[in-house]
Amino acid sequence: MYLGGLGRSGTTLLERLLGELPGVVALGEVVHLWERGVLAQELCGCGAAFPACAFWSAVGERAFGGWTTSVAGRVLTLRRRVDRTRRIPRIAHPDLAEYAQAYQMLYTAAGAPVVIDSSKHASLACCLVAAGVDVSIVHVVRDPRAVAHSWGRTVERPEDGHPMTRWSPARTAVHWTAQNAALELLAGRGARVVRVRYEDLVAAPVDTLTGLARRLGLATAELPFIDGSTAWLGPSHTASGNPMRFHVGRVELRRDDAWVSGLAVRDRRAVDLLTWPLRARYGYRSAA
């Protein structure tokens, strides 16, 4: 299962919740594993450094005979050639099969009936689909005003204490449209794409997750880890992603509407303009 959408749209929360389902393993943002996990040896979601995590050591051994700088370097080289947003309309490339195969080997080595890759980028989703990897895409959308407000905030990366990337509201709006349009294009090409809104997930988590599981053909089990608007998360081995990946225990599923008072009127208008008509398609009305 591949979670696609623009960052700060709730993909990490959705991944953690889906990862609590039986037979499902959440891997985090695999697209960043090669550089941040293998090369920079950043922390796994379980709190261990990537090379010290028993889960990832076993996966690396099964998939590639161990994690080496040459495996990571090769995938990063292929990524630069193949996995580009501008290549989406014509994805065919001689290196595509080898690039997608690295992901396929890693997913298989994770050893679960269903694995989740929350890499988000539409371009990687496109590579996997074009190469014939058996993948369902969950397209996560969130109100672009809320996304723009989130990208403007200063957030520290727990991995190294450095601030996360910040974008202006206009830049966020352009990326929001590009990523969502690309994922729409993929659905139009016959890929299995299921769309979910972050706002629906936090407003009705059980119904939304149950509906999602049904549409993805997963066993719609009970969801004992959710009670009303509270969820309990166990440890996970997410290789990279939003700081929320380290959270274990109770989490309140509450819609974050900080943008309503936090986003300047001129920025809100700019985002409204730059995200139309997809914004309307997803049910986010123009702000007054």
Residues at the site binding Zn ion, with contacts judged by CB under 5 A: 44, 46, 53, 55, 237
Q: Nearest distance from residue 217's CB to Zn ion, in Å?
A: 28
How many angstroms separate the most distant Cα atoms in the chain?
57
Q: Which helix (H) or strand (E) holds 55?
A: helix 54-64
Which lies closer to Zn ion via its Cβ, residue 55 or residue 259? 55
Q: Nearest distance from residue 231's CB to Zn ion, in Å?
A: 20
Give the CA distances from residue 92 to residues 89, 126, 128, 186, 257, in Å, rounded to whole numbers and listed in that order: 9, 10, 12, 14, 41
Beta strands in 6-48 (DSSP E): 24-26
Q: Which of 150, 115, 121 is nearest to 135 (CA)?
A: 115
Angle at 16 between CA 56 and CA 53, to 5 degrees: 20
Which lies closer to Zn ion via its Cβ, residue 31 or residue 44? 44
Which lies closer to Zn ion via its Cβ, residue 40 or residue 46? 46
Q: Nearest distance from residue 239's CB to Zn ion, in Å?
A: 8
Report how far residue 146's alpha carbon sits from residue 139's, in angstroms, rounded to the nearest whole number.
Answer: 17
Which lies closer to Zn ion via its Cβ, residue 21 or residue 26? 26
Q: Nearest distance from residue 37's CB to Zn ion, in Å?
A: 10
Which lies closer to Zn ion via its Cβ, residue 158 or residue 163? 158
Cβ atoms within 10 Å, residue 158? 13
Q: Nearest distance from residue 101's CB to Zn ion, in Å?
A: 24
Radius of gyration of the CA atoms of the chain, in A:
18
CB 119 within 8 A of CB 12: no
> Virtual CA dihedral for 148, 137, 252, 167, nearest 10 degrees?
-20
Q: Nearest distance from residue 54's CB to Zn ion, in Å?
A: 7
Which lies closer to Zn ion via its Cβ, residue 53 or residue 270? 53
Classified as helix, coil or strand, 245 is: helix
Q: Nearest distance from residue 248's CB to Zn ion, in Å?
A: 12
Which lies closer to Zn ion via its Cβ, residue 37 or residue 152? 37
Q: Which of 200, 219, 220 is nearest to 210 (CA)?
A: 220
